Amino acid sequence: MDLHYCLYDTWEPGTAAHAEATLFQVAEGGDSTHTEQYTNMRGAGSLPNAERFLVKRVHLIQDENVTDADFDTYLYGAIVEMRVKDKTMFKVPAQMLFSHSAKSGHFAQATAADAEFIGPMGDGWALEIPIEIPPGAPFKVRCKQGGAFATTISFKVVLEGILSTPD
């Protein structure tokens, strides 16, 4: 059976510059952190042996708590890389992946304290040639931040595509 499906995991950049995170390595429920709000990964670093996933679009969805100071840090300093069977499938600046996460307009606390919301607009990155994750094949998404973030924030990295499962 083929399903339109999304695999997601959470990237939590820190307050130290150039930190790295490797995503999709712990299955949902694999520990107390990896709840369904954090990830829906179906195995530890790979899909179950009977499942195949065809990635057609990649999204990076920002936390709602991004400060003005962090905007430039994550927008211009971060990279995201996907590897399948230890082969790099893409390595791109993070801003190419932003999706449905921008706030716009303005926010008024008081007349003298109006502030604009800024954020990247986008619909993720549609892959011209989809990326196949074969059954049981190891894969990972590596996220490397640029500068240090002023606050603790998180991003969802979402792989959208077709999940093939046994009927």
Average pLDDT over every residue of 144-155: 84
Cα 77 from chain centroid (whole Å): 15
**Residue of higher predicted confidence among 132 and 70:** 132
- Burial status of residue 141 (CB atoms within 10 A of its CB: 0-12, 13-18, 19 or more): buried
pLDDT of residue 160: 98
Q: Per-domain residue ranges for the chain?
A: 2-164
Q: What is the mean pLDDT of the chain?
A: 86
Tokens of 84: 């399948």
What confidence category does residue 167 fall into, taking pLDDT thresholds of 50, 70 and 90? confident
The rounded distance, in Å, linking the Cα atoms of 81 and 92 is 6
| C-alpha torsion 24→28→31→62, nearest 10 | 60
User: What does pTM read for this prediction?
Assistant: 0.87
Q: Say what percent of the chain tops pLDDT 70.
A: 80
pLDDT(95) > 90 = no
Q: Which residues contact 38 (CB under 8 A, 6 or more apart)?
A: 9, 10, 28
> Mind listing the pLDDT tens digit for each residue in 75-84?
678 999 999 9
**Residue of higher predicted confidence among 40 and 68:** 40
> Mind listing the pLDDT tens digit for each residue in 104-132?
544 555 555 555 555 556 789 999 999 99
**Residue of higher predicted confidence among 39 and 101:** 39
Q: Say what percent of the chain tops pLDDT 90.
A: 59
